[in-house]
Amino acid sequence: MKKLFILLFIALVAGLFYHFDGAQYLSVGQFREWFETQPLMAAGVYFVSYVLITGLSLPGAAVMTLMGGAVFGLAWGLLLVSFASTLGATLAFLVSRSLLRDWVQARFAAQLETINKGIARDGAYYLFSLRLIPVIPFFVINLVFGLAPIRAWTFYWVSQLGMLAGTAVFVNAGAELGNVEEISVSGIMTPGILIAFVLLALFPVLAKAVGVRLQQRQLTKSFSKPKHFDSNMLVIGGGSAGLVSALIAAAVKAKVTLVEKHKMGGDCLNTGCVPSKALIRSAAVAHQLKHAGEYGISDASGEVDFAAVMERVQGVIKTIEPHDSVERFTELGVDCLQGDAKILSPWEVQVGERIHTARNIVIATGARPFVPPVPGIENTAYLTSDTLWELREQPKRLMVMGAGPIGCELAQAFARLGSEVTLVDMADRIMPREDPDVSALVSQRLEAEGIKVLVGHKTIGFECDEGQGVKLAKLEPQAAGASSGSEPVSLEFDVLMVAVGRKANTENFGLEALDVELTPSGTIAVDDYLRTRYHNIYACGDVAGPYQFTHMASHQAWFASVNALFGFAKKFKVDYKVVPWATFTAPEVARVGLNETDATAAGIEFDVSRYDLDDLDRAIADGETQGFIKVLTAKGRDKVLGATIVGYHASDLITEYVTAMKHGHGLNKILGTIHIYPTMSEANKFVAGNWKRANAPEGVLRWVEKLHRWRR
């Protein structure tokens, strides 16, 4: 009954206001007339009207604020508006609490648990910060906080203080406008009005800056900030992101400390990009030797010495190691430390027995292979992309779990080296991030090379008989994509390779104690400037996401280091507009921007231009005709929205489209660029030519044809 009464009262007041056109009585002229004859009545009517408008969340609070200054002047207007707005806000707060809080809290208890804890702990601070930001609608704050566990008295006094600065700016603007005697350029362009407008323009920026400063002070109030720092920046992690961050800091003469607990170079050098590409290269050579007859070479056995292949991989790593070594980075001015890092405060990191202080911290701890909790998997002695490189005996029967880029690359490499490989994934096709025609072409190639591809199958368990040396995987066909009917499948294997994704390294170095937030995918939550909730702690690379590529780690590292060192003067948002990537299967798959699947899902209109490589002279000469180039352009225009290349050296060919998208060049520019003959890069020009023919101005060409006929 109480809620019903409140609803009826609100409806009645709102209805009467609109029925009698209450706005006509709330004019500057009307109040000025009252103010001259009955100032107390004018102030009272204005005050009550303001309280009701804000309390019932009706539109017009901003106009009423300006009116207060225009009618009553700065001092009295500020007094009236400050208390009226706070009382109205509290009234709206109480209405929201009475009508909705119980239902909302009961309906969304699980989702609101964390928010409620934060409001209960720091509600006054959050409210004060929001009151400083005029962009957030006044009534929204009132209604939302009515649902939260904050006391009404706290809401009142915090709102009174938090809104005071903004109220003063708006009332002052109203007071200056109220002093205008004539509507003319000279009447409006007075110093007082100009200053008032400048304050209105600057207030949101200044309020945001003050809010950020207050937020950071609230976060760090329990920590003691050092008066002096050992370094300008301390980087945790010596992988691609960490190395580039440290290198940039040293290049601009900052004092930088780099901490790595394992091997410099991180995953990319030691267990990822470098060793996998070395393995793929050996596998490609073995494959070519086995098919040497196709090139007119009859005496090529191609016998594989697997142990020698793996030793070559280690040799490649050792050759590149000096590029990422402690010695090199020390020479460049980086203070390199070996050991486990633990963040103690926003400015302190413990390494061994010593505590190092730094004005800024960059977290670049990377990621590791994710191992799903499948029953029995712990008994299989499974391998991951981290542990694979210790192998010296070639697996006879290899099961690869996961048909993403890593799984497909390794499955093909081992098959080419002589293993019997089965590739398993629960998705309905391999490489599901790519278009279906891309997945189909690569899958066809893998199967042609003897790989058994089992998509649409979920691995539900493993059984191992150590006595018989039998390892068995239990696979459950999924509704979509299953290739073997609906019956469970048993798969025997000798070695299991797990390649189902990677998990960010966020544990055991102090993030938990600082309550640094993580995203639902497990990466560190960062803003557009790569800052965590502590604005002097940054994260970049795989640990931050959203793209887990080495080149993206280096890209982010520039923003993290520059923002950390110079963000007090100028900050830079990370640019994710043009992000390329490649899968190094044969044929390679490279992509930048949108593909057909993504563009369709986003409702973007596009045209598709395609060129098949079996028509390219160099591809024919090299015997690498499998694949195509597919470019998406804006409907009816040559603007490149994305490109996908499947084929020989696709990872190199994609760069032309990356450059085009980065600098706004369309397919006409690519078509008008000279490409060397005979090269694979000519395919980029030919696909642009296909677009041009498809978008030729037919009407103009018909007139041109008539012109040529007439001239004959």
Q: Using one digit for the tens of pLDDT, what is the confidence trace for 36-57?
A: 777 787 788 888 888 888 887 7
How many C-beta neighbours within 10 Å does residue 661 have? 21
- The per-residue pLDDT for 429 is 95
Task: Classify 367 as helix, strand or coil.
Answer: strand
- Distances in Å between the alpha carbon of 205 and those of 199, 201, 272, 698? 10, 8, 44, 53
Question: Cα–Cα distance between 241 and 559 in angstroms, integer?
Answer: 11
Q: Which domains does the chain have, with CATH numbers?
A: 2-220 (no CATH), 231-264+325-369+504-566 (3.50.50.60), 377-500 (3.50.50.60), 580-698 (3.30.390.30)
Is the peptide bond preceding residue 546 cis, with omega within 30 degrees of 0?
yes
What tokens does 559 get? Answer: 């923003």
Residue with tokens 């486990």: 340
CA distance 526 to 516: 10
d(CA 596, CA 598): 6
What is the separation, in whole angstroms, between the first and last Cα of the chain?
94
d(CA 71, CA 344): 56
Sign of CA dihedral 308, 312, 318, 319: positive
Phi, psi of 532 (to 5 degrees): -80, -170
Six token digits for residue 370: 């994710």
Q: Does pTM top 0.85 for this prediction? A: no
Q: How far is CA 687 from the centre of its chain?
A: 31
Tell me, rounded to whole angstroms, the distance of Cα 556 from its chain centroid: 11
The tokens for 9 are 């009262």
Tell me 49's DSSP state: H
What residue ranges in 438-520 does DSSP mark as E strands?
A: 452-454, 457-465, 470-477, 489-493, 495-498, 502-504
Write the DSSP symbol of residue 224: P
Neighbouring residues of 111: CB distance < 8 A, sequence distance ≥ 6? none
How many residues in the chain? Answer: 712
Q: Which residues pair with 538 in a beta bridge?
A: 362, 531
Q: Which residue shows structure tokens 């490989």?
A: 421
- How far is Cα of residue 69 from the mean position of the Cα atoms in its chain? 45
What are 492's strand-pairing partners? 472
Query: Among residues 540, 502, 492, which one has the least CA distance to residue 249?
Result: 540
Decide: 574 and 527 in contact? Cβ < 8 Å: no
Predicted confidence at residue 89, as pLDDT, reads 87
Q: What is the predicted pLDDT for the residue at 711?
A: 87
Q: What is the pLDDT of residue 10?
A: 60
Q: Give the pLDDT score at 140.
A: 80
- C-alpha 504/C-alpha 526 separation (Å) is 14
* Other C-beta atoms lying within 10 Å of the C-beta of residue 371: 15
Percent of the chain with pLDDT over 70: 86
Integer Cα distance of 160 and 83 in angstroms: 7
Nearest by Cα to 606 from 643, 576, 579? 643
Q: Do 181 and 191 contact (CB within 8 A), yes or no?
A: no
Q: Which stretches of the chain score pLDDT less than 50? A: 181-190, 484
Selection from 659, 628, 632 nearest residue 643 by Cα: 632
Single out the residue of 581, 531, 533, 535 nearest to residue 556, CA to CA: 531
Cβ atoms of residues 246 and 255 within 8 Å: no
Measured CA angle at 218 (ends 217, 223), to 5 deg:
75
| C-beta separation of 503 from 367 below 8 A | yes
At 190-239, the pLDDT tens digits run 455 556 555 555 555 666 667 677 778 877 888 999 999 999 999 999 99
Segments in 337-424 forming alpha helices (H): 405-417
Burial pattern 548-579, b for ≥16 Cβ within 10 A else e, equals: bbbebbbbbbbbbbbbbbebeeebeebeeebb
SS3 call for 641 = strand
Q: Which two tokens mark 171? A: 């009332």
- Other Cβ atoms less than 10 A from the Cβ of 137: the count is 11
